[in-house]
Chains A and B, each alone.
Chain A
Amino acid sequence: KNEVEQSPQNLTAQEGEFITINCSYSVGISALHWLQQHPGGGIVSLFMLSSGKKKHGRLIATINIQEKHSSLHITASHPRDSAVYICAVKGNQFYFGTGTSLTVIP
């Protein structure tokens, strides 16, 4: 069993839709990260969370420490949001989910 599980694995949405990607983890953590991997492979760090909620533009990330769960929301999705979104947690080491592949159709 992976320490970090993401759902869904693949997601296709129409432009403008509200999108939610979920992440559950099974280890004790000091922080959770949401990463965005573009089709070319480059990775960008979107958020680092240890509690509560963070917002950056159309992206919102939440974490529930008690339930060991985090969600990444994208409001008013756009084709440029198409990417793989990766959840990662920092316990005694870094653990990574396998990613959610998002395609936003115009």
Chain B
Amino acid sequence: SQTIHQWPATLVQPVGSPLSLECTVEGTSNPNLYWYRQAAGRGLQLLFYSVGIGQISSEVPQNLSASRPQDRQFILSSKKLLLSDSGFYLCAWSGISTDTQYFGPGTRLTVL
């Protein structure tokens, strides 16, 4: 069966510090991968999606970047965090021929 992992579960970082959030998927090959952010009191916002290694599409201009160094690994990064980067970050995967997405447990990021 397929599983998706995210870490860390919670993170408190100072403004201006770097960020690296990791997401890995097990039990499937060549998944589509997604990074979402959910700010407090707001809906999910798609940040990045990837259809393959090294292929990243950005949905919104922002302070963040994403990379996919391996087929089942998706990394969300920032060189310098802003207060507005606080939120709940969710990674998700889907199969090539399906729209159903499966979400990871999420990382709650607080930037102080």
Contacts and interface: CB of A to CB of B under 8 A. Distances in A.
Interface string B19-53: 00000000000000010000001111110000000
Interface of A: 2, 4, 30-31, 33, 35, 40-45, 48, 86, 88, 90, 93-94, 96-99
A30 B99 contact: yes
Contacts of B106: 41-43
Contact of B105 (A31, A41, A86, A96): A41
Contacts, number: 47
Q: Is the interface of B mostly helix, strand, loop or mixed?
A: strand
A47 B46 CA distance: 19
Interface of B: 34, 41-46, 59, 88, 90, 92, 98-103, 105-106, 108
B103 A44 contact: yes
A16 to B, nearest CB: 29
Contact of A31 (B34, B46, B59, B99): B99
